[in-house]
Amino acid sequence: MCGIVGAIAQRNVSQILLEGLSRLEYRGYDSAGICTIDKNELNCIKTTGKVKNLKEAVKEKGCLGTIGIAHTRWATHGVPSEVNAHPHICENLALVHNGIIENFAELKEQLIALGYNFKSQTDTEVLVCLIHHHLQSSDNLLQAFKAALNEVKGSFGLALIDKNDSNTLYAARSGSPLIIGLGIGENFIASDTLALLPVTRRFIYLEENEIAVITTESVNVYDLDGNKIEKTAVESDLDTESISKGRYRHYMQKEIFEQPQSLQNTLLGRLRGDDISTETIVGSDENSFKDIEAIQIVACGTSYHAGLVGRYWLEELTGIPTNVEIASEYRYRKAVVRKNSLFITISQSGETADTLASLRLSKEQNYSKSLCICNVNGSSLVRESDFTLFTKAGAEIGVASTKAFTTQLLSLLILALILGKQKGTISAEQNHEIMENIRKLPNLSQEFLECDSQISKLAEEFSGKHHCLFLGRGVMFPIALEGALKLKEISYIHAEGYAAGELKHGPIALIDKEMPVVVVAPDNSLMDKLISNVEEVRARGALLYIFISKDAHIKQDEQTRKLALPDCPEILQPILFTIPLQLLAYHCAVINGTDVDQPRNLAKSVTVE
Ligand code: G6P
């Protein structure tokens, strides 16, 4: 969701900025822009649509300069258009912005009264004018920048340049991530490390309410009162390989097929016989969770579905009562917090605004500890939580989450084992059996991927439908929810996930020949109950797609398509049965001709509320 890139160097920076924007495309956006300082003038080019349109415009018009800022915009205030695209300019200043300035309307009125004119409908143009206004009464731009930021309410990641000073790039953050990339004789900023991997691997993470003043040789960071802050640079371990599509047609396809490796990486170095090493949860020791008596999980989207699965495992293996809630709901509710409660956030990016706000709220509540399950080292959630369990999925570029989800599930199972061990609620035999099963997971996931060609055939029939139901029972209910979410987000087929036992309380009214029903049916203790629900649907003429363990029996007729999947241990079924659902969504999207990796209106990392 919106991307920022900035650079200051002794070479032309426009190609670095455009390449950075291309690498941020996965975050979701609808327009893009770039501004450099060339011969003391601001050279600004903006286009709607994809970054390739901006690249063509830059090629045509030319864009030189050793300092510049660039942006991909996901519209919040004002429609996607060239005028509303960033950078926004006020006289000598150009600004790009991620986030939302909540009090922009009242600031705009004040600025209009002072004689400022506005071309766009954006909050960002208001902010650049506010900085310009303060500059008229300040000694320098840093002072004016601070004064303006002290007046705004809301969230921002910002990059600012001044045509009268081509030696300094300014950046600031509050609520929207921003990192500084350190080069040799050149420095960079971006909203995401992926944008800068071709130019550097050394990064400084800006914290809340920090301003950076960046030249080719120096990076100075201040708080909003002007106090200097010492920062430490960290080396990124992301490889450039992870951000190429390789032999695959789409990132999503690559990421689905990477799951055996990413699940292996989640386990790497963590399993010691029947034990899990204490370093698995960063910041913890063997007693950290002994006194935990309740758990609250908070997350958004796919990560929320992971939390719903996690609850089954946590309650079964640790006996600890566990609640799961959507972050945007949790943050505005007066939750009752039990004594000795653990607050868990789950997030691929570690930057989702509602999840982060919930974590911050939890610190004012009565929680004893916070833990995040996260894929991105250095992200806000990681930095602000007491403990972190890294999912180690590797960079995920496709907007629809796939390998991030299955590694979140595996991480939750590992967490349940760690907590169960500390609480003494798991027997040695049960622990041994689960550990043995976990070790089989990467190979089993490879076997599940082999259903790809069968699913692509099913998808041909399926993709023409407009609506679809996904059914599951027990721990497979959240997997049905996730299957429906995958399908709707990338193929635009309307899909709903339902607990199979709930069907007769409403959705059964929708069943007819035009409404396919996908049943997630691994062979487990709820199989018989599920089959009864399937019969109710069959009796009403539904077209059934049953994803079932290969040895389990199900009645076959012309209404039923059976996809036989490998046998697997019950504890691993939620992870493994996710894979065919991801493939179904993927193939339907390809057939429907949608933008698989960047579906319309969606963003990978939702950094605004
Ligand atoms: C967006 C993404 C989803 C993701 C959700 C939560 O909606 O498109 O794929 O599940 O945000 O993101 P997080 O980074 O917190 O897991």
307: enclosing H helix or E strand: helix 301-318
- Nearest alpha carbon, ligand 1 atom 1: 604
Q: Which residue has the higher pLDDT, 540 or 20?
A: 20
- Sheet with 202-205, strands from edge to edge, namely 41-48, 31-38, 67-73, 3-8, 187-190, 179-182, 202-205, 234-235
For the cut 80, the answer to whether the pLDDT of residue 272 exceeds it is: yes
pLDDT in tens, 347-364: 999 999 999 999 999 999
For the cut 90, the answer to whether the pLDDT of residue 387 exceeds it is: yes
pLDDT of the residue at 393: 96
pLDDT in tens, 175-225: 888 999 999 999 999 998 989 998 999 999 999 999 999 999 999 999 988
- Nearest alpha carbon, ligand 1 atom 8: 604
pLDDT of the residue at 423: 96
Question: In this structure, which amino acid lies at residue 385?
Answer: S
How much is the CA Rg of the chain, to the nearest whole Å?
A: 25
Assess contact for 182 and 139: CB atoms under 8 A.
Answer: no
Of the candidate ranges 45-54, 240-249, 356-365, 375-384, the one whose mean pLDDT is the lowest: 240-249
Confidence of residue 554 (pLDDT cuts 50, 70, 90): confident
- Nearest alpha carbon, ligand 1 atom 5: 301
- Max distance between CA atoms of the chain, in angstroms, equals 81
pLDDT, average across residues 35-47: 96
**Ligand 1 binding pocket mutation candidate from 26, 347, 352 (most atoms within 8 A of CB):** 352
Instruction: Determine the Cα–Cα distance for residues 321 and 420; give it in Å rounded to an integer.
Output: 13
pLDDT in tens, 120-143: 999 999 999 999 999 999 999 999
pLDDT of the residue at 2: 86
- Ligand 1 centroid–CA 217 distance in Å is 37
Instruction: Determine the Cα–Cα distance for residues 206 and 262; give it in Å rounded to an integer.
Output: 29
- Ligand 1 centroid–CA 303 distance in Å is 7
**Ligand 1 binding pocket mutation candidate from 29, 354, 401, 605 (most atoms within 8 A of CB):** 401
pLDDT of the residue at 511: 87
Distance set, CA 1 to CA 274, 382, 522 (Å): 42, 20, 36
pLDDT, average across residues 52-80: 93
pLDDT of the residue at 588: 95
Q: What is the dihedral of CA 274, 280, 281, 286, to 10 degrees?
A: 40
For the cut 90, the answer to whether the pLDDT of residue 29 exceeds it is: no
- Nearest alpha carbon, ligand 1 atom 2: 604
Instruction: Determine the Cα–Cα distance for residues 343 and 371; give it in Å rounded to an integer.
Output: 6
43 contacts: CB under 8 Å, gap ≥ 6: 35, 36, 37, 62, 63, 64, 65
pLDDT of the residue at 77: 79
pLDDT of the residue at 242: 67
Catalytic residues: 2, 604
pLDDT of the residue at 499: 95
Token pair belonging to 114: 């002072």
Question: Which residue carries 């059964």 as its tokens?
Answer: 508
182 contacts: CB under 8 Å, gap ≥ 6: 188, 200, 202, 203, 204, 219, 233
Confidence of residue 552 (pLDDT cuts 50, 70, 90): confident
- Ligand 1 centroid–CA 577 distance in Å is 20
pLDDT, average across residues 34-51: 96
Confidence of residue 555 (pLDDT cuts 50, 70, 90): confident
pLDDT in tens, 568-580: 999 999 999 999 9
In DSSP terms, 155 is beta-bridged to: 100
pLDDT of the residue at 240: 67
30 contacts: CB under 8 Å, gap ≥ 6: 48, 49, 73, 74, 75, 80
Count the neighbouring beta carbons within 10 Å of the beta carbon of residue 529: 13
DSSP 484: H
Share of the chain above pLDDT 90, in %: 80
55: enclosing H helix or E strand: helix 51-61
Share of the chain above pLDDT 70, in %: 99
pLDDT in tens, 279-334: 999 999 999 999 999 999 999 999 999 999 999 999 999 999 999 999 999 999 99
305: enclosing H helix or E strand: helix 301-318
pLDDT in tens, 410-421: 999 999 999 999
**Ligand 1 binding pocket mutation candidate from 1, 29, 303, 485 (most atoms within 8 A of CB):** 303
pLDDT in tens, 489-536: 999 999 999 999 998 898 888 888 888 999 999 998 888 888 888 888
- Nearest alpha carbon, ligand 1 atom 4: 301
State the pTM of this model: 0.83
For the cut 80, the answer to whether the pLDDT of residue 370 exceeds it is: yes
In DSSP terms, 36 is beta-bridged to: 43, 68
For the cut 90, the answer to whether the pLDDT of residue 604 exceeds it is: no
Residue ranges around ligand 1 (CB below 6 Å) = 300-303, 347-349, 352, 355, 399-401, 602, 604-606
